[in-house]
């Protein structure tokens, strides 16, 4: 009942957001000067005027922009056809899919670590408010907030490669390129240390801050006093009563953060030449490969919208209070 | 009644709060009263007079900004203040439990009612999970909630049901002393009556001692055996309900009873006691009630009155009574 | 003297009395002010111009030279003084940050007040718009936008594009904050009274609501500045800045692309990053303290250690 | 159940890892692999339509041509053992070496050569990458398995050079394409060649090319077993990989990292004078050209061009941008071509002199405006300054040029543009003012000279400046058919002078060729201006014992 209403609302909202993204993507694409045929077939290939005209008709570029072309584009995107990359001369969707896994690996690791560490530290800081732990944690998160992602990456790259001999880029050593990642795990791990560390430091601060204020708010609630009155120790109260309530905002934050995580991935992958979507986004930007850029944008935006929606669903399972309100 | 040993005995309890601007609020000063087994004690006074602080001091649940500076809390003759935190935890809920005001906030929103009740039972090692569940059903049944609603969440309960659940939870470990901190606030009148009835019923059934914190003098008259009237962190008058109600000795009590039935009404509307309660971090030097007292005289403004024993367990703290004593 | 001025003066004095006791706030103000001063007085802080090349005795460019008396922060890959680049870069970084921040503040306040004051479908529409913007990943959106706009050959400086894109995208948090504040103020007695005596909407907003939320807007603007400065640095690092008007981000772009790391030229890549942290940290500290002072909310909680019991037998 | 499955997987992965470790440890007969790192990648392995240097690096190793340039700069036989030409220079007869086989084991015959050359002659659009080398070719014939006869319509002065670029392809791979588009779209990821290395895989996404030594190579097999090429997105990462030994050799060490690489232990950094140059292109498309150019008309004023030349500190560019790994440039024929034979040494470069630049403009009537930009008759000296986005050096060049120009009252707005867009914007649209770009000239000056001819300023042509000078065009045709070397040199010197004085290009520098390799692992590289990666060198490389 309530949950269904809530979910319907969320589905509706996700669809609206999706529509905005799709329309935006379409419009930006059309705003670009130049011949859209090139976007479809790639730039370097010289083709005859006849072939161009045929393609024009095939892709409906001779028909009005709205609604015909828009619907055509929509249909193609829905089928996963995102055009052909100018620089790689390959279907954009193919290129993107190949990089998705690497990015998920990096983002996933970074998120998991930063959530675990950030939540633990935030819990500690909020619980032991105004102690050295708290002040230290706050200082850390403030600085983490103010550090530009890419610069932290550069610093860690310089420090890690100089003093620890860690690899400065890529996802595997050149000798292992092309092999399935799980067969060269130690090498992959070695390469992942610095980029993951960068992402972890960056997001940890934020999770910590949220967890800290969240736990402080929860600890001010009457049910915490009730739990204490029941004779529970601080630790028991924290674990059984405070944690779940305080974690709820984190779930929402993780979802919202995905957008920022993607931004982080663009910087970190650029600095560490990590072969993922973020790096590819940056390359597409430099090479002005618009089909690739916009395909990547579409994929990233849709993934984040989807993840937000999943987080909303997850939320209904975690928080029994979710109401339509 | 007075011949038996008191179950709980507060002896000169004083508690301070340090405030953010660096001053000290003397929230409780020299508070003493007894609670005997099976007795119901009403703790009354205006908001901020220290009723809740008294309860929290007894259970040692004060925030970190608070300090108990002196006194004793004797429970069955044992000073709770001298216990370690670990030992104190064993007393909570098992011996002394509490029903907070506003059960919506006092219940954890993400745990079912059943879980929250069971948790206390299992925490104190009273029984295993299966038996605990059976016990939860009994308790819910006792407070008039269908056991089928055990696995629901607090937000699925009405206000009155939540308060019942809270009571059931407070009884989970069969304590011998129950604190009820304004258990009927924020409930509508019908439900208030039902909750009070329930409390009375349970007290009779289980032979509990109850300390009922309230601002409703009518409730006290109806439910309590003795009453402790607090003002500005001190006990103004303390004695059997009948005696105090029929012959209030402290000017504050007198004024209160005039303002009856409900002293929580906005001061402006009835305007019975002019002025406002003292700020605890800027207390007057003499009697704390002096600035508002219609009978106050010079001494009241410079010297705090001591407690005068009026016999039969009736005491009051007022210079007028000392004078009367002296005259006698 | 004008009584309104006196009122302002008294309030400012009160504010200053509270503020100067707050060490974080003072630190923030110090960081922000020094950055601004460095930008304004850049030509006085260095004997060189930002494009001047440092030369050795033979007149050859001194590239990647470590810090020395002549170049306190060394030289970059083109033989230019890093310190000079840094103080002149402050101009670009701060200008872009401030302008973008102000645009965001203006839009955010406008939308926040409109949504909060008028409510209804206006509110609904604006708030859903902020929801949508919140979900779309911000950096990819900015990158696509900037790249597209640049392709239009509008003959404007890349910096103008950056300012507009950042300003037009980062107003959502301000709008939400202002809206919630307006919602509470709207319900206050004097607003009802003003309405009862027939005051128009614009009058009420200007006379009653705006003065109330102004402090909050100021505090929030300072916070947005930090975001804008950070975003600008990131975009410049990705090569979307104006190479002829190098900001701190542009310096880092050059440092990274020109292998400052493998050259060990730490003096080239450390200072711009520290400068960015300097400015953003300053804004964050200042903004947080301002916000805290204007919205005091102090909650204590129930698990703060053991309360002390002095009386032991 | 679920968790147990997960556990099984973990164990499996661990087992795989352990076994992998075990394999790496054992076995003494490891194949010798030379791992090469570079920041580029071939655009395609199809010789008909490959334009990037990287593609030709691979072709050099996997294909063979009739002739090849030796490290000395001379042209020697590759597939051809010996050759003669008729007295009129119109008929060339080549005799092939023995024992040449295709990588698939099929025998190689003269008809394969004839097929390739005739295919190019027949479809110059499809074979766009190499068709300029068959200009003036009439036909190729194979009278027997070992003989190729090429007929020309006019004599060609640089026949051996031209043939060194025509890689003979395996006809069955290419016969199937009937249209130029089909041919162009063929990626040819595993080419069949006759060269010393055989491409076994080319993964464009991963940027990896694996090449195995071809044991039956006709000039004797290589001493190593495999070469891998790995593309790095970031040169820092590539340098680091060389340092730690992940790769053995680096092509194109960035200038800014060369000093660092020189300091590495067990790494030899190789620097040789190179012929790559970068230039400032000044839009020289005539106003009456169709389509009409879109440019600032002030660029047509020779005095403005002279002032621009005075306002460029080439030595600073070399010092700062190239990190002193190169020399100041002047003409479009670098000193390295043909051992210095073709470069005109008499050209006096325009000195960097900002006051002179200002004086020239002042004299020409360009008055300094209030905003520091000079102006004459309403025309402001305000130019677009564009450069291809794929070059890491040009942002800095643009930045430095802008600073100098500003001192002379010239305002430029730098802009990084995707190379394809930039090209289509320039040729033949002529929609630009100033562009920074560069060339890697062929060993023979013919190609780089052709870039300045009028008829190259068409869609798909090589000209980007739009320089049109009938006298120059005629001289270009003359040098093509002048077989006498001294006479050809005179013509070519004259052509360089014309370009230098008219300034469609202001040549900024000649880059050094920078390479590095692990000297603790491999030895035998031939260090020449052609780079250590050419097949002559790769045939000599062997592991350090």
pLDDT in tens, chain D (545 residues): 333 344 344 444 444 444 444 444 444 568 999 999 998 888 889 999 887 888 999 999 999 999 999 988 888 999 999 999 998 889 999 999 999 999 999 999 999 999 999 999 999 888 988 888 898 899 999 999 999 999 999 888 889 999 999 999 999 999 999 888 889 889 899 999 999 999 999 988 778 899 999 999 999 999 999 999 988 877 777 887 888 888 999 998 988 788 889 988 899 999 998 889 999 999 999 999 988 899 999 999 999 999 999 999 999 999 989 988 999 999 999 998 877 889 999 999 999 999 999 999 999 999 999 999 999 999 999 999 999 887 888 988 999 999 999 999 999 988 888 777 788 788 888 999 999 999 988 888 988 999 999 988 887 778 999 999 999 999 999 998 887 889 999 999 999 999 999 999 999 999 999 999 999 999 999 988 888 999 999 999 999 97
Of B61, B63, B68, the CB nearest to C310: B68
Q: Which C-chain residues 218-237 have CB contacts (< 8 A) with chain D? A: none
Is the complex ipTM more than 0.95? no
Q: Would the CB atoms of B67 and C309 count as touching at under 8 Å?
A: yes
CA distance readout (Å), A110 to A115, A203, A265, D10: 8, 8, 10, 21
Hey, which chains touch A, using 3+ CB pairs under 8 Å?
B, C, D
How many CA within 13 A on the CB side of residue A239? 6
Physical contact, D and B (3 or more Cβ pairs within 8 A): no
- Number of other residues whose CB lies within 10 A of the CB of residue C203: 12
- Per the CB < 8 A criterion, the answer to whether A107 and A202 are in contact is no
Cα–Cα distance, A148 to A153 (Å, whole number): 9
* Structural domains in chain B, sorted by start: 8-95+175-327 (3.40.50.300), 109-174 (no CATH)
- Residue B9, Ramachandran bin (φ over 0: left; ψ between -120 and 50: alpha; else beta): beta
What phi, psi does A90 have (nearest 5°)?
-140, 155
Of A151, A234, A237, the CB nearest to C273: A151
| List of residues 6+ apart from B32 with CB closer than 8 A | B9, B10, B11, B12, B13, B71, B235, B307
Q: Would the CB atoms of B92 and A321 count as touching at under 8 Å?
A: no
SS3 D174: helix
Burial class from Cβ neighbours inside 10 Å (0-12, 13-18, 19+) for residue C243 reads: buried
- Residue D327, Ramachandran bin (φ over 0: left; ψ between -120 and 50: alpha; else beta): beta
Compute the count of residue pairs across chains B and C with CB atoms less than 8 Å apart: 42
Residues in chain A: 325
pLDDT tens string A111-151: 999 999 998 998 888 888 778 888 888 888 888 888 999 99
Cα–Cα distance, A153 to A202 (Å, whole number): 10
Cα–Cα distance, C177 to A264 (Å, whole number): 26
Query: Which of B28, B63, B92 should be substituted to probe chain C, the one whose Cβ sees the most C Cβ atoms within 10 Å?
Result: B63
pLDDT tens string A27-79: 877 666 555 555 554 444 444 556 666 666 665 666 666 677 777 778 878 88
Hey, which chains touch C, using 3+ CB pairs under 8 Å?
A, B, D
Cα–Cα distance, A151 to D286 (Å, whole number): 48
Helices (H) and strands (E) in chain C, counts: 13, 1
Q: Would the CB atoms of B61 and A228 count as touching at under 8 Å?
A: yes
Q: Is C272 in CB contact (< 8 Å) with chain A?
A: yes
Beta strand D197-203 pairing with D208-213:
antiparallel
What token pair was written down for A138?
A: 């706050």
- Chain C residue whose CA is closest to B74: C313
| Residue C144, preceding peptide bond in cis (omega within 30° of 0) | no
Q: Is D417 in CB contact (< 8 Å) with chain C?
A: no
Strand partners, D415: D386
Q: What is the dihedral sign for C-alpha D81, D86, D89, D91? A: negative
Q: Would the CB atoms of C259 and D260 count as touching at under 8 Å?
A: yes
- Chain B residue whose CA is closest to A231: B89
The alpha-carbon gap from C244 to the nearest alpha carbon of chain A, in Å, equals 18
pLDDT tens string D314-337: 999 999 899 889 999 999 999 988
pLDDT of residue C269: 94
Of A222, A231, A245, the CB nearest to B92: A231
Q: Would the CB atoms of A290 and C249 count as touching at under 8 Å?
A: no
The fold adopted by the segment(s) A3-32+82-318 is MetI-like fold (1.10.3720)
Look at residues D100, D106, D92 and name the one whose alpha carbon lies nearest to residue D64.
Answer: D100
- Relative orientation angle of helices A290-318 and A2-31, to the nearest 10 degrees: 170
CA distance readout (Å), A3 to A7, A8, A27, A245, D77: 6, 8, 36, 19, 81
Chain B residue numbers with beta carbons less than 8 Å from the beta carbon of C308 are 67-68
Cα–Cα distance, D211 to D200 (Å, whole number): 5
Strand partners, D148: D94
- Relative orientation angle of helices C248-257 and A149-163, to the nearest 10 degrees: 40
Instruction: Choose from C7-16, C289-298, D220-229, D334-343 the range with maximum mean pLDDT.
Output: D220-229
Q: Which C-chain residues 274-313 have CB contacts (< 8 A) with chain A? A: 276-277, 280-281, 284-285, 299-305
Q: Is B167 in CB contact (< 8 Å) with chain A?
A: no
b/e sequence D36-68, b meaning 16+ C-beta within 10 Å: bbbbbbbbbbbbbbbeebbbbbbbbbbbbbbbb
Domain segments of chain A: what residues?
3-32+82-318
Of all helices (H) and strands (E), which one includes residue D388? Answer: strand D382-388
Chain A residue numbers with beta carbons less than 8 Å from the beta carbon of D417 are 288
Q: Would the CB atoms of A231 and B100 count as touching at under 8 Å?
A: no
Q: Would the CB atoms of C135 and A147 count as touching at under 8 Å?
A: no
Of all helices (H) and strands (E), which one includes residue B15? Answer: strand B8-18
Q: Would the CB atoms of D239 and C60 count as touching at under 8 Å?
A: no
| List of residues 6+ apart from C309 with CB closer than 8 A | B60, B67, B68, B81
Chain C residue numbers with beta carbons less than 8 Å from the beta carbon of A260 are 137-139
| List of residues 6+ apart from C244 with CB closer than 8 A | D399, D402, D403, D413, D414
Does residue C297 register a pLDDT over 50?
A: no
Q: Which residue has the tokens 């010197």?
A: D493
pLDDT of residue C132: 84
Q: Would the CB atoms of C78 and D320 count as touching at under 8 Å?
A: yes
- Chain B residue whose CA is closest to A128: B64
Physical contact, D and A (3 or more Cβ pairs within 8 A): yes
| List of residues 6+ apart from C206 with CB closer than 8 A | none
Q: Which residue has the tokens 């090209």?
A: D423
Q: Which residue has the tokens 């028991």?
A: A236
- Number of other residues whose CB lies within 10 A of the CB of residue C144: 25
Look at residues D507, D471, D502, D495 and name the one whose alpha carbon lies nearest to residue D344.
Answer: D495
What token pair was written down for A215?
A: 């736990």
């Amino acid at each position: 009942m309530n949950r269904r209403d809530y979910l319907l609302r969320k589905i509706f909202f996700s669809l609206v957001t999706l529509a905005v993204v799709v329309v935006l993507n379409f419009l930006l694409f059309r705003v670009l000067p130049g011949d859209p045929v090139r976007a479809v077939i790639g730039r370097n290939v010289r083709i005859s005027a006849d072939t161009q005209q045929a393609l024009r008709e095939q892709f409906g570029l001779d028909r009005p922009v709205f609604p015909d072309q828009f619907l055509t584009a929509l249909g193609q995107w829905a089928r996963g056809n995102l055009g052909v990359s100018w620089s790689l001369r390959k279907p954009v969707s193919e290129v993107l899919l190949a990089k998705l896994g690497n990015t998920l690996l990096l983002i996933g690791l970074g998120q998991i670590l930063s959530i675990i560490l950030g939540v633990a530290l935030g819990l500690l800081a909020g619980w032991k408010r105004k102690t050295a732990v708290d002040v230290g944690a706050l200082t850390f998160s403030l600085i983490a907030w103010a550090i530009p992602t890419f610069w932290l990456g550069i610093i860690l790259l310089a420090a890690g490669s100089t003093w620890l001999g860690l690899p400065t880029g890529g996802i595997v050593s050149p000798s292992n390129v092309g092999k399935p990642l799980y067969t060269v795990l130690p090498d992959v791990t070695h390469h992942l240390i610095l980029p993951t560390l960068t992402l972890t430091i960056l997001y940890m601060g934020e999770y910590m801050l949220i967890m800290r204020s969240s736990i402080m708010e929860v600890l001010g609630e009457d049910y915490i006093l009730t739990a204490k009155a029941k004779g529970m120790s601080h630790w028991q109260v924290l674990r059984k009563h405070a944690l779940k309530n305080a974690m709820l905002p984190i779930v929402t934050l993780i979802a919202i953060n995905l957008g920022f995580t993607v931004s982080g991935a663009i910087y970190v992958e650029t600095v560490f030449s990590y072969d993922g979507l973020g790096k590819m986004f940056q390359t597409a930007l430099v090479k002005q490969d618009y089909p690739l850029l916009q395909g990547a944008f579409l994929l990233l935006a849709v993934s984040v919208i989807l993840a937000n929606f999943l987080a909303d669903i997850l939320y209904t399972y975690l928080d029994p209070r979710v109401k339509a309100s | 009644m007075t011949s038996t040993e008191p179950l709980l005995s507060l002896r000169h309890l004083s508690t301070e709060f340090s405030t953010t601007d660096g001053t000290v609020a003397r929230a409780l000063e020299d508070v003493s009263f007894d609670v005997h087994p099976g007795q119901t004690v009403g703790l009354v006074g205006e908001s901020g007079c220290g009723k809740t602080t008294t309860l929290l001091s007894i259970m040692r649940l004060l925030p970190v900004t608070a300090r108990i500076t002196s006194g004793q809390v004797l429970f069955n003759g044992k000073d709770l203040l001298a216990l370690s935190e670990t030992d104190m935890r064993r007393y909570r809920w098992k011996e002394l439990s509490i029903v907070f005001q506003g059960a919506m906030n006092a219940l954890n929103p993400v745990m079912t009612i059943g879980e929250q009740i069971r948790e206390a039972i299992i925490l104190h090692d009273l029984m295993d999970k299966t038996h605990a569940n059976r016990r939860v059903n009994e308790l819910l049944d006792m407070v008039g909630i269908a056991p089928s609603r055990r696995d629901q969440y607090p937000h699925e309960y009405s206000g009155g049901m939540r308060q019942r659940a809270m009571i059931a939870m407070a009884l989970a470990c069969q304590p011998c002393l129950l604190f009820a901190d304004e258990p009927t606030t924020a409930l509508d009148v019908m439900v208030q009556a039902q909750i009070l009835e329930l409390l009375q019923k349970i007290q009779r059934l289980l032979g509990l001692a109850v300390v009922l914190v309230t601002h409703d003098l009518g409730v006290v008259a109806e439910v309590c055996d003795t009453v402790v009237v607090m003002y500005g962190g001190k006990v103004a008058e303390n004695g059997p309900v009948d005696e105090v109600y029929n012959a209030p000795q402290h000017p504050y009590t007198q004024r209160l009873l005039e303002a009856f039935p409900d002293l929580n009404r906005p001061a402006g509307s009835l305007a019975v006691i002019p002025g406002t309660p003292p700020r605890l971090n800027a207390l007057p030097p003499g009697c704390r009630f002096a600035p508002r007292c219609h009978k106050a005289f010079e001494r009241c403004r410079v010297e705090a009155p001591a407690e005068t024993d009026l016999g039969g367990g009736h005491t009051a703290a007022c210079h007028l009574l000392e004078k009367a004593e002296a005259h006698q | 003297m004008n009584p309104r001025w006196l009122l302002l003066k008294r309030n400012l004095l009160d504010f200053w009395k509270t503020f100067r006791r707050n060490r974080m706030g003072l630190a923030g103000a110090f960081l922000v002010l020094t950055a601004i001063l460095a930008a304004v007085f850049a030509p006085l802080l260095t004997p060189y111009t930002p494009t001047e090349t440092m030369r050795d005795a033979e007149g050859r460019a001194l590239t990647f030279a470590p810090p020395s008396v002549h170049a306190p922060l060394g030289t970059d890959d083109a033989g230019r003084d890093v310190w000079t680049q840094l103080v002149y870069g402050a101009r670009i970084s701060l200008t872009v940050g401030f302008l973008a921040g102000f645009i965001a503040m203006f839009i955010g306040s406008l939308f926040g007040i409109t949504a909060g004051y008028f409510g209804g479908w206006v509110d609904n529409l604006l708030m859903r718009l902020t929801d949508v913007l919140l979900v779309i990943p911000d950096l990819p959106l900015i990158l696509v936008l900037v790249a597209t706009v640049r392709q239009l050959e509008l003959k404007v400086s890349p910096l103008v594009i950056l300012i507009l894109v950042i300003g037009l995208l980062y107003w959502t948090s301000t709008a939400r904050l202002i809206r919630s504040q307006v919602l509470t103020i709207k319900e206050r007695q004097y607003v009802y009274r003003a309405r009862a005596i027939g005051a128009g909407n614009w009058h009420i907003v200007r006379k009653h609501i705006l003065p109330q939320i102004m402090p909050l807007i100021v505090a929030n603007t300072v916070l947005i500045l930090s975001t804008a400065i950070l975003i600008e640095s990131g975009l410049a690092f990705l090569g979307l800045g104006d190479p002829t008007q190098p900001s701190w981000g542009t310096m880092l772009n050059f440092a990274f692309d020109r292998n400052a790391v493998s050259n060990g030229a730490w003096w080239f890549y450390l200072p711009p990053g520290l400068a960015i942290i300097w400015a953003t940290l300053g804004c964050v500290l200042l903004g947080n303290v301002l916000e805290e002072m204007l919205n005091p909310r102090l909650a204590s909680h129930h698990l703060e250690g053991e309360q002390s019991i002095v009386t032991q037998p | 159940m679920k968790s147990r499955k997960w556990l099984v997987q973990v164990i499996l992965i661990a087992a795989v890892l352990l076994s992998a470790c075990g394999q790496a440890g054992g076995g003494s007969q490891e194949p010798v692999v030379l791992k090469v790192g570079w920041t580029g990648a071939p655009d395609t392995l199809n010789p008909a339509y490959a334009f990037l240097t990287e593609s030709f690096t691979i072709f050099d190793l996997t294909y063979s041509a009739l002739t090849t340039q030796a490290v000395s700069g001379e042209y020697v036989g590759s597939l051809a053992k010996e050759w003669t030409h008729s007295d009129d220079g119109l008929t060339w007869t080549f005799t092939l070496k023995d024992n040449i086989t295709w990588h698939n084991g099929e025998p190689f015959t003269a008809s394969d050569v004839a097929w390739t050359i005739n295919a190019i002659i027949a479809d110059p659009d499809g074979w766009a990458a190499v068709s300029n080398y068959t200009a003036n070719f009439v036909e190729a014939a194979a009278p027997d398995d070992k003989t190729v006869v090429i007929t020309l319509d006019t004599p060609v002065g640089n026949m051996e050079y031209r043939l060194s670029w025509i890689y003979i392809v395996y006809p069955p791979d290419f016969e199937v394409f009937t249209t130029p588009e089909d041919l162009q779209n063929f990626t040819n990821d595993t080419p069949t060649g006759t060269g010393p290395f055989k491409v076994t895989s080319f993964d464009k996404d991963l940027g990896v090319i694996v090449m195995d030594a071809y044991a039956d190579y006709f000039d004797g097999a290589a001493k190593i077993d495999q070469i891998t090429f790995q593309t790095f997105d970031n040169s820092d990462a590539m340098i680091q990989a060389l340092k730690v030994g992940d790769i053995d050799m680096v092509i194109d060490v960035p200038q800014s990292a060369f000093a660092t690489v020189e300091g590495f232990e067990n790494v030899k950094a190789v620097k040789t004078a190179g012929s790559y140059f970068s230039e400032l292109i000044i839009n020289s498309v005539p106003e009456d050209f169709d389509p009409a150019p879109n440019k600032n008309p002030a660029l047509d004023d020779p005095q403005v061009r002279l002032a621009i030349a005075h306002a460029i500190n080439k030595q600073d560019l070399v010092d700062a941008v190239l990190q002193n790994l190169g020399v100041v440039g002047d003409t479009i024929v670098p000193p390295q071509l043909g051992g210095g034979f073709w470069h005109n040494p008499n050209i006096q470069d325009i000195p960097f002199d900002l006051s002179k630049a200002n004086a020239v403009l002042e004299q020409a009537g360009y008055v300094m405006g209030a905003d520091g930009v000079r102006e004459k008759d309403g025309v402001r000296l305000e130019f677009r300054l564009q450069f291809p986005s794929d070059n890491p050096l040009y942002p800095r060049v643009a930045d430095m040029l802008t600073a100098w120009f500003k001192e002379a009252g010239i305002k430029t707005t730098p802009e990084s543009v995707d190379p394809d867009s930039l090209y289509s914007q320039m040729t033949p649209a002529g929609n630009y003012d100033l562009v920074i770009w560069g060339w890697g000239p062929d060993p023979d000056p013919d190609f780089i000279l052709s870039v300045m001819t009028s008829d190259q300023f068409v869609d798909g042509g090589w000209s980007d400046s739009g320089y049109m000078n009938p006298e120059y065009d005629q001289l270009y045709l003359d040098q093509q058919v002048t077989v006498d070397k001294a006479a050809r040199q005179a013509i070519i010197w004259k052509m360089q002078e014309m370009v230098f004085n008219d300034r469609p290009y202001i040549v900024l520098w000649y880059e050094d060729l920078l390479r590095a390799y692990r000297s603790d692992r491999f030895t035998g590289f031939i260090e020449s201006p052609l780079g250590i990666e050419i097949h002559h060198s790769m045939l000599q490389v062997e592991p350090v014992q």
